[in-house]
Amino acid sequence: MAIDLLNLGTVADDRTGDTFRAGGTKINAMMTELFAFKDAQGFVFVALESEFPVQDATTITLESKVVYIISAAISTAKRFIVEDAAVLTSFNVLGPVLEYTGTGSMFTGSDVSFIIKDIQISHPSAQGFNFTDTVGNVFLYINANVRTVSGTKYGTFNNMQTVFITGSSSLDMDDGVTFTGANQTVCSFNQFFMQSTSASFIGADLGTSIALTWEFTDLILVAPAGAIGIKGAASSANVTANAVATVTGGNFAGIATPLNGITNEDIRWRFQDNSGIRDTIIDALLSLTANATATTIGTISTPVLVAGTWVVEDTSLMTGTTAGRVTFNAELTRRLPVLIVADVEPASGTNKLIKLYLAKNGTIIAASGRQVKADAANPLNVTVSWQLDLTTNDYLELYVENNTGTTSILVSGAVLRVN
């Protein structure tokens, strides 16, 4: 119905306005419609523990598709059982605190989605959240703008489709977030702050869980010596094949061990612009110094792999060998620049035309060839600059040819850089 305002008359007591009965009728009609709308939408305002509609001696049930709005500070020893699509909020991240004084998990749910937002909570003697998806990759946990005052552990999430925490903080947390299960899609922290005084604190413990997407954006962790930032399985085992986990813009400087089990050089992880963790780069640097082993040339104008013992100076997401090979290890195709600088000369004679090439997977890249005319004992510098796409297990090498004859060629020094 449209709003039906009371007729107040022109001036006080002029008896031209609504009668008491007519006015009351209007008020009753509008209040009836308002509460019918509230009930239809599933809104429940709660200022006391007793105002939660479904509860028993030890538990409070947050019913399916009902929005619970906390309007005053509440302390309860009853744990919360969450039904599917329940929502809990106070519409104010600095508003009244919902405190749980029990020891079991504050919020638990099995095969349910749950949204908690714009609220303050506290669970000083318990874990905050414990949710399990028995099917796997179906149900969601969404936490937005929630301030946790204290707790023994943030929570445990098993096989959830989505765990999304954004704009939230945990000010006094003994332990962080634990993930279990091998069938998750999105596990995302965005602008999430956790602080702890416990040396056993782990911000995010991935264990052996597997997800298609791990996103840690602007994650800030502060904890004492012994604490760990992100703990996971070695060799990118937490990340689905051909996917990439990202850690960007975080501050791990306040934690002694930012990473455990995973590294910034794991092939399915990318670290960028984090305080306390070095950026992930794709890079390889090999050098050949004071080489005295000449490359034997069997046929004129036929490229041959450069002979000599190389030093692998540095690699990341790539590997190098002393034979001068650089192999790309990442799973996703990348376009990368390549720079080769070499000193070349014939083993004997003068005015020998020598050409240097980059080769991919043993095949010469003809257009990369660069030629000089050199004399024995008088090496000339040659530079090859190139760019190309690399996929998993592609490898690069340096080849040389004699365009004048079959005299052996000495590459006395060289640098091969891919980045």
Q: What is the pLDDT of residues 99-129, one digit of tens each?
A: 999 999 999 999 999 999 999 999 999 999 9
Question: How confident is the model at residue 254, as a pLDDT?
Answer: 87
Pairing mode, strands 311-316 and 97-100: unpaired
Quickly name the fold that domain 283-418 has: Jelly Rolls (2.60.120)
pLDDT in tens, 34-59: 555 445 458 999 999 999 999 999 99
pTM of the complete model: 0.84
Sign (positive or negative) of CA dihedral 155, 278, 213, 234: negative
**Residues of 30-40 as b/e, b for ≥16 C-beta within 10 angstroms?**
eeeeeeeeeee
CB 378 within 8 A of CB 352: no
Question: How confident is the model at residue 18, as a pLDDT?
Answer: 72
**How is residue 292 written in tokens?**
């005295």
CB 90 within 8 A of CB 120: yes
Question: How confident is the model at residue 317, as a pLDDT?
Answer: 95
Q: Any residues with CB less than 8 A from the CB of 18 and at least 6 apart, and which?
A: 6, 7, 8, 26
Question: How confident is the model at residue 347, as a pLDDT?
Answer: 97
Residue spans of the chain under pLDDT 50: 37-38, 40
| Domain residue ranges in the chain | 1-41, 42-272, 283-418
Question: How confident is the model at residue 12, as a pLDDT?
Answer: 67
